[in-house]
Amino acid sequence: MVLHPVLGKLVSKRVVLASASPRRQEILTNVGLRFEVVPSWFKETLEKSYFAAPYEYAVETAKQKALEVANRMHVKHLRTPDVVIGADTIVSVDEQILEKPVDKQDAYRMLSRLNGKEHSVFTGVAIIHCSSKDNQLEMEVTDFYEETKVKFSDLSEDLLWEYIHSGEPMDKAGGYGIQALGGMLVEYVHGDFLNVMGFPLNHFCKKLAELYYPPSKHNVQHKKYDSIPSVDTFENLSDVESESSNFTEHKGASKLDSSGMCSSGSIYNSENSSSVRSGFMVPLENRNGMPENATRLPSKILELMDGFRASKALFVASKLKMFDHLKNKGPLKAVDIANEVGTSVCGTERLLDACAALGLLEKTPQGYSNTDSTNTYLTSDGEYSLHGYIIHSNDHLWPLFTYLESAVKEGSRQNHRAFGKKAEDLFKDYYHSQEVKQRFMAAMHSIAHLTARDVATAFDLSRFKSACDLGGCTGALAHELVQIYPNLKVTVFDLPEVIANTSYFQPSAQHTAPVTFVSGDFFKDNLPEADLYILSRVLHDWPDEKVHVLLSKISAVCKPGSALLVAESVLDEQKTCPPTAVLQSLSMTEGKQRSGSEYKQLLEKHGFTNVQIKITENLLDVVLCFKTLSP
Ligand SMILES: O=c1[nH]cc([C@@H]2O[C@H](COP(=O)(O)OP(=O)(O)OP(=O)(O)O)[C@@H](O)[C@H]2O)c(=O)[nH]1
């Protein structure tokens, strides 16, 4: 069997999972799919009685979840994804649709209904292929559903309540999780187990097979995709781009404009779902009979106009550690949080509502609680916490950006206006104030930790025996490297003030080879010996002259065959993409973001050849080059 299934067809695409469900993330991650998670803000409130069958409801909800994310990502300054996947799981028993219980009584009501009986679990899935033409979003929607039958044993009241008190039912359709304690309630399962858990992987692969290997015209009547074709090597994916950019008229796919309406005016038609009345399509824009362009343009601009409010709401809620309180004690009412953090009740309520509107919190009659991604990224102590970077953005970048107008007029950074100090003096503060230093290091650590896997795996680095991460700060990338390449010895080289403060950021249990930390200034001191030098998020801080100094120093210690790996957000040749990097340039530091050809030129000038660039579509792209005999 060839173990590169049709999922490999998604390898070169920017895939987004429009779901906060940790189970869906796990199922897709387990099969090696690389994707971003952007939970949908679509509220699951479609009127159930309008749907002729339960699966129609699940399919339509899945589709609206995915459409909301595709639209939002296109409208915001984020890049339009290639593929957005949405899903919705429901339980159907006695003609009733059961979703996630709202409280323990509701869970009891659901589990009592299921007790001793067979029920159906339906997951609706929508796969949206997006493209942007003249800045207009075009979407092709493919959807399907899968049904699995599950039977519960006869269960006692005590057992049901014991199960409910475990807390497991609360975020699960029908009030049980078959993959955990809930498995004990189940007598049999007929069908796809993963479908019950939230994502019908097998049917998904078959659907991709239909889309990426469409039947040729002459056998269109007969060909059925009961099996999943494999992709033998990733090299033969060259056909993928042309297929996807020319993504028309595949079975089960329909074209939508960015409002979620079919451009043809017809409703999607899918293999397993009967058609749904157009009244159920939720228009994402206020159309009011106005021409499409007139309604779409303001929403983009309005979103940008409001962007600063949204950022500040996130920053303030983070700074006040509201997400930490909610993680430990949620759901909580506004008054409880206000008491905990010492803020006004009315102000707290408005801020929490804003966070709920932005999809950072869930609001129920019981109070506010964190979404899964808020727990992962916004609480201050999580492994993948972005808290440090958010506080840095609030305390350092926000004041700087307040003076953007002066920065543009004068062409220089505005530290003196924002902080009453020149940049050089401010830099000294980093090393005198323990708090500022820790904040800055936490910010750098957040990003390094989140991008480390992508940077470490962009190229196969297994041939190297030793690596030196210059300016490697807390060692987040170094730890990832030793984990992925067990034979690699990694040294982190950074300023003494930084090295002295790294202990707080070290992983608690070290199962891998330790990382060595060495103090020094890469402009002044001798560099440790290594076969591979790494500069991650270093070069953009420096102007070309300084970059030349650093590269010539590295080139001098590099033996032939050694390599240099640079991790930066690489601009396209027009320098308008990716927006995050372009916006970062507005800080007007003396450094700058550079394009692929600019990095190539700089590196080749110092005797590095075979320059290869991997665009990861994550925050950092990766450049690898090798030292030749003479520069
Ligand atoms: O046996 C199990 N059955 C169901 C689940 C989980 O239940 C939820 C179903 O909810 P939904 O489809 O609305 O998805 P959400 O979690 O709200 O995430 P979205 O952001 O996609 O709306 C789903 O998480 C299943 O995984 C289970 O775990 N076991």
Q: Is 61 in the pocket of ligand 1 (CB under 6 A)?
A: no
Ligand 1: centre distance to CA 253 (Å): 24
- Average pLDDT in the 587-596 region? 88
Q: pLDDT category, 631, cuts 50, 70, 90?
A: very low
pLDDT higher than threshold 80 for residue 223: no
Chain center to CA of 7: 18
Would the pLDDT of 196 be above 50? yes
| CATH classification for the domain delimited by 299-385, as one of 1.10.3720.10, 2.102.10.10, 1.10.10.10, 2.30.30.60 | 1.10.10.10
In whole numbers, what is the pLDDT of the chain averaged over residues?
A: 84
pLDDT of residue 134: 75
Pick the CATH number of 437-627 from 3.40.50.150, 3.40.50.11820, 3.40.50.12780, 3.10.105.10: 3.40.50.150
**Choice between 44 and 352, residue whose per-residue pLDDT is larger:** 352
Compute, in angstroms, the gap from residue 89 CA to the centroid of ligand 1.
6
Q: What is the ipTM of this complex?
A: 0.99
Query: Would you state the pLDDT for residue 69?
Result: 93
Mutate to test the pocket of ligand 1, among 89, 185, 193, 360 (most ligand atoms within 8 A of CB): 89
pLDDT at residue 45, rounded to an integer: 87
Ligand 1 pocket, 373 CB below 6 A? no
pLDDT at position 271 is: 39
Check whether 620 has a pLDDT greater than 80.
yes
**At 490, is the pLDDT very low, low, confident or very high (cuts 50, 70, 90)?**
very high
Residue among 21, 41, 61, 98 to mutate when testing ligand 1 (max atoms within 8 A of CB):
21
Of 46 and 6, the structure prediction assigns the larger pLDDT to: 46
Average pLDDT rounded to a whole number, residues 565-593: 90
The boundaries of every CATH 1.10.10.10 domain in the chain are 299-385
Q: Is the distance from the beta carbon of residue 23 to the nearest atom of ligand 1 less than 6 Å?
A: yes
Residue 237: pLDDT band with limits 50, 70, 90 = very low
C-alpha distances out from residue 437 to 411, 432, 500, Å: 27, 8, 11
**Ligand 1, atom 21: closest residue by C-alpha:** 19
pLDDT of residue 228: 60
What number is the average pLDDT over the span 375-387? 90
Q: Is the CB of 176 under 6 A from ligand 1?
A: yes
Q: Is the pLDDT of residue 282 over 80?
A: no
| Interstrand relation of 361-364 and 489-494 (parallel, antiparallel or unpaired) | unpaired
Say if ligand 1 is within 6 A of residue 20 CB: yes
Cβ–Cβ under 8 Å, residues 550 and 579: no
What does the pLDDT look like over 90-130, one tens digit per residue? Answer: 999 998 999 999 999 999 999 999 999 999 999 999 999 99
pLDDT of 29 higher than 80: yes
Tell me the per-residue pLDDT of 53-92, one tens digit each, with 9 for 90 and over.
999 999 999 999 999 999 888 876 557 899 999 999 999 9
- Taking each helix axis from N to C terminus, what angle separates 322-329 and 334-341, rounded to the nearest 10 degrees? 120
Helix (H) or strand (E) holding 311: helix 292-319
Contact 617 CB / ligand 1 (< 6 Å): no
- Catalytic residue status for 425: no
Indicate if the pLDDT at residue 268 is higher than 50.
no
Per-residue pLDDT tens over the stretch 429-441:
655 678 778 888 9
Share of the chain above pLDDT 70, in %: 82
586 vs 569: CA distance, rounded Å? 15
Q: Which of 56-65, 427-436, 503-512, 521-530 has the lowest mean pLDDT?
A: 427-436
Architecture of the domain whose range is 5-89+122-146+191-272: Alpha-Beta Complex (3.90)
Q: What is the pLDDT of residue 233?
A: 30
- CA-nearest residue for atom 6, ligand 1, is 172
Question: How far is Cα 165 from Cα 159, in angstroms, rounded to an integer?
Answer: 10
CB of 603 within 6 A of ligand 1: the answer is no
Ligand 1 binding pocket includes 90 (Cβ within 6 Å): no
Please tell me the residue having the least CA distance from ligand 1 atom 13: 88
Cβ of 72 below 6 Å from ligand 1 = no
Give distance in angstroms: CA of 67 to centre of ligand 1.
18
> Which residue's alpha carbon is at the smallest distance from atom 7 of ligand 1?
172
Question: What's the rounded mean pLDDT across residues 404-411?
Answer: 92
Which protein residue's CA is at the shortest distance from atom 26 of ligand 1?
198
Contact 351, 316 (CB under 8 A): yes
Q: Is 493 exposed, middle or buried (0-12, 13-18, 19+ CB in 10 A)?
A: buried
Residues of the chain with CATH 3.40.50.150: 437-627
Instruction: Give the burial class of 361: count Cβ atoms within 10 A of its Cβ; 0-12 exposed, 13-18 middle, 19 or more buried.
Output: buried
Report, as an integer, the average pLDDT of 183-209: 95
Q: Where in the chain is the domain with CATH 3.90.950.10?
A: 5-89+122-146+191-272
The minimum-distance atom of ligand 1 relative to the CA of 42 is 22
Asked which of 78-87, 89-98, 344-353, 450-459 is least confident by mean pLDDT, the reply is: 78-87
Which atom of ligand 1 is least distant from the CA of 182?
Answer: 1
